[in-house]
Amino acid sequence: MGYNCVVCIKQVPDTGKVTGDAMKADGTINRAALPAIFNPEDQNALEAALRVRDQHGGTVTVITMGLPAACAILREALMCGADKAYLVTDRRAAASDTLATSYILSQAVKKLNPDLVFCGRQAIDGDTAQTGPQIAEKLGATLVTYLEGLEIKDGYAYATRNIGTGTEKVKAKLPALFTVMEKCGELRPFQARLAMKYKKARAPMELAKETAEAEYAELRQKGLDIGQWTLDDIGCDLSRCGKAGSPTLVNKIVNVVLAGGEFQEFQPTDEDMGRLVGSLIADHTIG
């Protein structure tokens, strides 16, 4: 029998490419200065779901919440083999914190009634690791965090999870939600045929307004439609969404700059490398 899997994915600024202008004067992220990418651990989550489908059959559906630009990662997921993609997009969802986000995503997930839900452990822009567990709570699904390996047998999930000092194996009832770590497996490459096909997939909001309806109908006929949901479509209580549903208040953001004296600088020269190794030996880090 097959399992229906839903993967929640997020488009994030590539914090690995932080340069001088990556942060605005007020300490918030300058999103324009950083390329937007498929959150790394969400890629591992997608791979975990695709493996379940490879082994047992079923479907893999990806969901993201964000602006229409986030469709880029939905297309990437389709090119890797996901069956269907949905964009949850609504102005009223802006400024949602993890609580509101998890509520909105849980409403979207409910519509799909999956057996397994996969999220990346955390997103590299916020690093909260809260959204996945909060979705599970709202779904009433078994929560398995820090997933490193998964087997599905006889309707149960046998999961290996990282507990910091090692791993533990747990047996979980379905439906279950997993927050996935890198070790679970690198996302497979795009399949060329799917890349050739889904490069044309679009959500309605990506289309020119005047012709959107006709174009989208055509896309749907070809299986190239990215589903698009507003908060109303997924039955959200607006008081739990956006700013209204977000109890988190950012008090202040501090740009931490290491003071001199806390670090030493070494140039990539033979001499400096000698000094570096010397000091590491001296404080018994190596040797």
Partner 1 sequence: MANFYQDNPDIEEIIDALDLSEVAALLENDFAFAKEYDFAPENAADAIDNYKRALDICGKIAGERIEPTAEATDRVGNILEDDGTVTYTPGIKLAIELYGKSGLMGATLPYYLGGLNMPCTVLTAMNDIVSRADCSLMNMFGLQGIAETINAFASEDIKREYVPRLATGELTGAMVLTEPDAGSDLQSVKTVAYQNEQGEWFVSGVKRFITNGCGDVLLVLARTEPGTTNGSGLSCLLVEKCPQVKVRRIEHKLGINGSPTCELVFKDAPAKLIGQRRRGLITYVMALMNGARVGISAQGTGVGEAAYRAAREYAASRKQFGVTIDTFPALRELIANSAVDLLASRVLAYFSSKSVDLEAGLTKKFESLKGTPEAMAVRNRMKKYAAFNKMLTPMAKYYASEMAMRVSNNAVSVLGGSGYMKDYPVERYFRDARICSIYEGTSQLQVVAAIAGVEGGLVPEAMEDALDGVELNESLAAKVPAIRQLADELASAIETVKANPGAKMYHSLQARRLVDAGIAVIVAALLVRLAAKNPKREAALDYWLNVQFPQIRAALEIAKGGYTASVTDFETLAPMPKAD
Binding stretches for partner 1 (CB under 8 A): 186, 188-197, 199, 222-223, 268-269
Q: Give the nearest distance from C-beta 72 to partner 1 in angstroms.
A: 14
Alpha carbon 280 to chain centroid distance? 38
Inter-residue contact 48 to 180 (CB < 8 Å)? yes
Cα 194 to Cα 244: distance, rounded to the nearest angstrom: 40
Identify the three-state secondary structure at position 177. Answer: strand
Q: Give the nearest distance from C-beta 83 to partner 1 in angstroms.
A: 14
Q: Give the nearest distance from C-beta 271 to partner 1 in angstroms.
A: 10
Q: Give the nearest distance from C-beta 196 to partner 1 in angstroms.
A: 4
Smaller CB separation from partner 1, 223 or 274: 223
Q: Give the nearest distance from C-beta 207 to partner 1 in angstroms.
A: 17
Per DSSP, 29 falls in state B
Q: Give the nearest distance from C-beta 195 to partner 1 in angstroms.
A: 5
Smaller CB separation from partner 1, 173 or 222: 222
Cα 108 to Cα 122: distance, rounded to the nearest angstrom: 19
Cα 19 to Cα 41: distance, rounded to the nearest angstrom: 22
Smaller CB separation from partner 1, 78 or 231: 78
Identify the three-state secondary structure at position 206. Answer: helix
The DSSP H or E segment spanning 275 is: helix 270-282
Smaller CB separation from partner 1, 193 or 252: 193
Smaller CB separation from partner 1, 100 or 201: 201
Smaller CB separation from partner 1, 79 or 236: 79
| Residues 6+ away with beta carbon under 8 Å from 165 | none
Cα 284 to Cα 269: distance, rounded to the nearest angstrom: 22
